[in-house]
Structure 1
């Protein structure tokens, strides 16, 4: 057999072994068998091949030799290039756990495992709460009154929220709370926020990162027994003070301090802390009765031991404690939830005010990180998804009844393009929201996924609300009781900013943490750097390193082979028309894993400072997760055929974005030559994916323009109404009437040979009835449609006065200005 044939056989064997991710022992046995087969067939021992084989196989397979010759030296080098990890970084890396994000990082996601997870569902009790008290709360809300007249929730709304235990959704029933699942918590917040972002934020904060959750996980039995029932009933209003003027995203740098000392409490001298703090942007602070504070603890006098610096600690302080100051209110962009600063100077608190007691002194950062990974995955994604669903429903209805050039504006291609994004992004956000809530209810605490959800649901909210405002045009920008979009539009930057500003979430957190947490071997290698037992360090490093090498080679081959075949031979679940997307996302998973490994090897700790590269890798990881969530959602819902346009559009958009970000990474690689090489491996025949075409976009946009099961599924769970007296109900009511009247209008125009317009409508109807073109009832239906359309597209006309200013939640009456002055203001 010729040398070329043997070479090709050798290459094919290596590719097959790498693609199947075979163990080193299998590689060794396979190549030994290949050399033996060559010997038997040719009759002469291939001496050079045998020597090369033994020179490689012996050092790699004899563990003591491999560790001495390779692993020990590589560990020494690894230590020299690995930057030290700060304590706050280490805690953040240890917080929560990994879930499907770790599967994505393998380059070979197990789709059957994902689909085997139960479909997230509300219990009967939870659904009853959403349909009952939550619906009733939404009916009570007048967002114009809240944001324009009171700058606060009305007293009856506050009372209803307390009485129905909206603040106790996460508190177990044994403490008087509702004991709801993550999905139920998310569903309630989503529905309320779709009616009023201010009320949504008020409801979500006590159930997110705050005293309630911290007490559940870390509080002493005494603290739980005292505070949790009071929090559940709304007898205590909690807030948590973390952010300050000099510590925002870098919360580990908080300057607020607490000094261990003795002081008086309840008439007795006790051990405690004297705390000073200056915090701002604290939601519910102006009305809080219970203040959570993060501070750095110090023990200069050694009252607790030898350590002087004890670390970040958390305290729970009644706001009537002497020295606690609640400042005047902040007003974030016209949102009217309670938000403000809090300060304290040398406020003495006893040890019993520490969350968890003395045992948890110095554990505050770990406590916060573990709770944040859950809260951030629920509240803000619910807010963003609710905005998407409400934008989808109202924009579709408005675009159907609003006409220009005698055509519904929703049928203009430019408007259609915006509506396609609204529907597609909403489908994507809902898929992420449900799948991640389901994971939380299974006991997972996915910290990286929480960052993905926070970023992409709030950015998705920004896009869909911007598009909805564009479609509504003047209807969206004129403030008044009928405007159901503007306050959500104004609240978008707030969601973007809180719980980690989105720029830093994208550029530092998603891939920065994900690369370490989700990678199957990197964290294990990093843990060996600081080990004191050198022998154990080398053994563990050796095991992780060579598994890592095999992992990288395998992903390189998988990326190359699947790139050549465009994923044709990848196994995927039998899922009908969407089966191909499982293959494509698997292919991109291998491309991502290999590209990330090469980048980590090249940059090491320098990746921290390559924020643009990190952000692009974060986008790839995010869209792989979003694609997975959309496929799972489609399967969980029974593969409804009418949802296929949404699935096709959103999956194609994600695949295009993944490939686009990878190309940007390769174009900006620190080593241009290596960037071109990696690109050739993962895109051997060039780019494979395109943006969704216009025909598919038309199908997606059309789903919003007509009542249907697909439209109802997409917008399920938000406030919905067809009450013509409700701002949202007006456009839905109008769409129903318009769709019923259109065939009658067409008949009238055809028979009377005229074009209907508001000026000739009544005359045409009278003539149509007279000439038996329409019945009296049919004519009345056309009149109702015209009247409903006029109400739906109308904007508010307000008295010519300055908007009332409010301070500390109380509206102040303003004097009316003259018409002449109002005109001057308008002109200016």
Structure 2
């Protein structure tokens, strides 16, 4: 059947599906079927109780979603577009699932794969890829989020090893991680370290009272005279450029993931508008409601076109960090607009956990902040456009 003869898909007004390869479509369908069975029916309860579904971690590994871009050590070797589509489907269920996969693969595993020793890779990457082990990425600190160059965590040489002191904050997966990739200031600049959970002096504290990303494990990492062997250092990581390169990988996943949350909100509002009657007819028949739905559909499809274009650039090795900033800034902004507009269509029902809309809107507030705030990405683009830095 040609695209012109099949029914119009409101979530794919531009027929972008036709621009995907058979393999890319298969990845998306496989992840979507898995989540329809294992996540969508239960995620509202996970959010309500503040619980991450750890029982799904091995299944995520079986599907090849952990370290999906890596070509060895158990990675699936998927292209950037396939990874993006997986992120979209994961976040269509809940941002917590995409965040877990993103931190595990694009941050912890990516850092070990790029900058770790052969021994570190051999020991950790296959276990992280299968879901046997969980990783986290310790960069952000309580007083230094947008400016990691001012970090206070230190690593001092002590005999044949290191002593790590400091605190990391807002660390996804921290409380369930078997290994943390931690960045610290040394006499020779910023370095990365591989810190197993059972290292003396390393403890975690989960953050409570969150109104966003409630189904995600968010933790504080505490290092108090934490003694590490000399080979805990990531030997190929030099300076802040190393962790920032990993953040760029995670930001790419957000470009797609945010649209998954947006799609769920749009489709929920569309179904509701067709079924909910006021003044003797479905509210979707009113001009004001149609304007909202069209506005959401345009934003969603424009975001998908941007994500696909950036994914193709990434697969060609041509994607620039500034372009990732543009994608993250634009698509998260669009996703939040869609979620908030969807809530207005649902009226009072929009605040109920019976519907996923406000849950996604709350989650997207965190997505908007982590991996670079709107302000930071604006200044990155501002410097790219003017050639003038506003940071220093």
Query: Does the 8 Å contact 1:120/1:437 carry over to 2?
Result: no
Query: Does the 8 Å contact 1:137/1:157 carry over to 2?
Result: no
**1:281 alignment partner in structure 2:** 170
Query: Does the 8 Å contact 1:373/1:445 carry over to 2?
Result: no
**1:198 alignment partner in structure 2:** 96
Of 185, 188, 201, which residue of structure 2 is paired with 1:323?
201
**1:160 alignment partner in structure 2:** 59
Q: Does 1:413 align with 2:287?
A: yes
Deviation at 1:402, TM superposition (A): 1.4
**1:340 alignment partner in structure 2:** 219
Deviation at 1:422, TM superposition (A): 0.6
Of 375, 386, 392, which residue of structure 2 is paired with 1:503?
375
Hey, which bits of structure 1, 4+ residues long, moved more than 6 A? none
**1:387 alignment partner in structure 2:** 261
Change (3 A) 1:332 1:457: farther
Q: Does 1:144 align with 2:51?
A: no
Query: Does the 8 Å contact 1:331/1:339 carry over to 2?
Result: no
Task: Answer with 1 or 2: which has the greater Rg.
Answer: 1
**1:374 alignment partner in structure 2:** 249
Q: Does 1:469 align with 2:343?
A: yes
Deviations 1:420-472 (A, max 9, x none): 22111111110111110111111124100111111111111111111000111
Query: Does the 8 Å contact 2:155/2:185 carry over to 1?
Result: yes
> Partners in 2 of 1:446 and 1:403 — Cα distance?
48
Change (3 A) 1:476 1:251: same
Deviation at 1:120, TM superposition (A): 6.1
**1:292 alignment partner in structure 2:** 181
Query: Does the 8 Å contact 2:152/2:184 carry over to 1?
Result: yes
Query: Does the 8 Å contact 2:88/2:257 carry over to 1?
Result: yes
> Partners in 1 of 2:209 and 2:83 — Cα distance?
26
Deviation at 1:179, TM superposition (A): 1.3
Deviation at 1:407, TM superposition (A): 2.5
TM-score (norm 1): 0.43
Deviations 1:477-527 (A, max 9, x none): 123xx3121210211210111011112322x221124433xxxxxxxxxxx
Deviations 1:172-204 (A, max 9, x none): 2x3112111111111111112112222222222
Deviation at 1:122, TM superposition (A): 4.2
Query: Does the 8 Å contact 2:31/2:89 carry over to 1?
Result: no
> Partners in 2 of 1:318 and 1:123 — Cα distance?
40
Query: Does the 8 Å contact 2:57/2:131 carry over to 1?
Result: no
Query: Does the 8 Å contact 2:103/2:137 carry over to 1?
Result: no
Deviation at 1:134, TM superposition (A): 4.4
Change (3 A) 1:512 1:218: same
Change (3 A) 1:123 1:295: farther
Deviation at 1:319, TM superposition (A): 1.2
Change (3 A) 1:430 1:236: same
> Partners in 2 of 1:341 and 1:156 — Cα distance?
23
**2:273 alignment partner in structure 1:** 399
Change (3 A) 1:501 1:155: closer
User: What does 1:559-574 align with in structure 2 at a 5 Å threshold?
Assistant: none
Q: Which runs of 5+ in 1 are unaligned?
A: 1-118, 263-270, 299-309, 517-604, 611-828
SS at match of 1:194: helix
**1:608 alignment partner in structure 2:** 390
> Partners in 2 of 1:402 and 1:256 — Cα distance?
54
**2:78 alignment partner in structure 1:** 180
> Partners in 2 of 1:143 and 1:352 — Cα distance?
40
Of 366, 370, 380, which residue of structure 2 is paired with 1:494?
366
Query: Does the 8 Å contact 1:295/1:312 carry over to 2?
Result: yes
Structure number with greater CO (CA < 8 Å, separation at least 6) is 2
> Partners in 2 of 1:323 and 1:241 — Cα distance?
15
SS at match of 1:608: coil
> Partners in 1 of 2:391 and 2:323 — Cα distance?
22
Q: Which runs of 5+ in 2 are unaligned?
A: 1-17
SS at match of 1:473: helix
> Partners in 1 of 2:175 and 2:209 — Cα distance?
11
Query: Does the 8 Å contact 2:265/2:356 carry over to 1?
Result: no
Deviation at 1:162, TM superposition (A): 3.5
Deviation at 1:235, TM superposition (A): 1.8
> Partners in 2 of 1:447 and 1:609 — Cα distance?
16
> Partners in 2 of 1:167 and 1:192 — Cα distance?
12
Higher strand residue share: 2
Deviation at 1:164, TM superposition (A): 3.1
**1:435 alignment partner in structure 2:** 309
TM-score (norm 2): 0.89
State how many pairs are aligned: 372
Deviation at 1:160, TM superposition (A): 2.1
> Partners in 2 of 1:338 and 1:394 — Cα distance?
27
Deviations 1:290-309 (A, max 9, x none): 101111102xxxxxxxxxxx
**1:236 alignment partner in structure 2:** 133
Change (3 A) 1:364 1:138: farther
Query: Does the 8 Å contact 1:277/1:345 carry over to 2?
Result: yes
> Partners in 2 of 1:122 and 1:212 — Cα distance?
27
Of 239, 242, 248, which residue of structure 2 is paired with 1:364?
239
Of 116, 139, 152, which residue of structure 2 is paired with 1:255?
152
Deviation at 1:609, TM superposition (A): 7.8
User: What does 1:558-707 align with in structure 2 at a 5 Å threshold?
Assistant: 608=390
Root-mean-square deviation (Å):
2.1
